[in-house]
Amino acid sequence: MPDSSNDVDLKPIHGGTMPYPEAMDLQRHLHARVVASQSANYLLFVEHPAVLTLGKHADVAHLSLDRAGYLAQGVELIQTDRGGEVTAHMPGQMVVYPIVRLSTYHLSPKRYVAGLEEVVIRLLAGYGIEAQRDPEFPGVWVGRDKICAVGIRIKERVTMHGIALNVNNDLALFSQIVPCGISGRGVTSMERLLMCRIDLDLLRRKFAEKFLALLSVGQGATDGRAPLQWLEGLSTI
């Protein structure tokens, strides 16, 4: 566990583009390591090929097509063990899977989800985007449009799944579902709002630093943090 020096043992991983099932297997591997060792926590960054994922209690009525219809477009349809409804992933989206022991940082599940949303809100503010929570629905919103989906699972007090922030991704796939089961709302992206491409590598690093700050506050440390040591590629895990 992190020691009295208040250093947060967080290892960000740049996983690159990864099929969803492979990312799920990697999450389970990292989760088992955190559960067993009670030491390092991980922050896995990936992009997924086009895929629709459904939460464990998702309503298939929120899908416009059947499985064959999506597969004909090259889009996988995968049932997951996270909470929430259906959401879409595709290249250009920043997907982040924190694998974190919440008790180490005195975070309840509710505070953790709120903290994730706050990290995204502050990240977007740095780009001049005014985002907020919605009192009715989870995630991060710009007006009535969702820009970031949040869906987690906590098993043996360690988190899995996380957030999907729309950055440079094509939003067309969202028109073929009811995103997150919320009717009458839209989706947007950083690229659409700012009318320019976003440097994803820089964005990942900014997110990691803000997430580190969230854990540091939970642990009672607000300064003197050691710099993050990134793991580049899966061979370094």
Residues recognised as catalytic: 180
Q: How far apart are CA 29 and CA 168, in angstroms?
A: 29
* CA dihedral angle for residue 16, residue 100, residue 171, residue 145, rounded to 10 degrees: -150
From residue 184, alpha-carbon distances to 44, 135, 146, 178, 181 in Å are 32, 16, 11, 9, 10
Angle, alpha carbons 17-102-79 (nearest 5°): 45
Taking every pair of Cα atoms in the chain, the longest distance, rounded to a whole number of angstroms, is 55
* Residue 145: strand, helix, or coil: strand
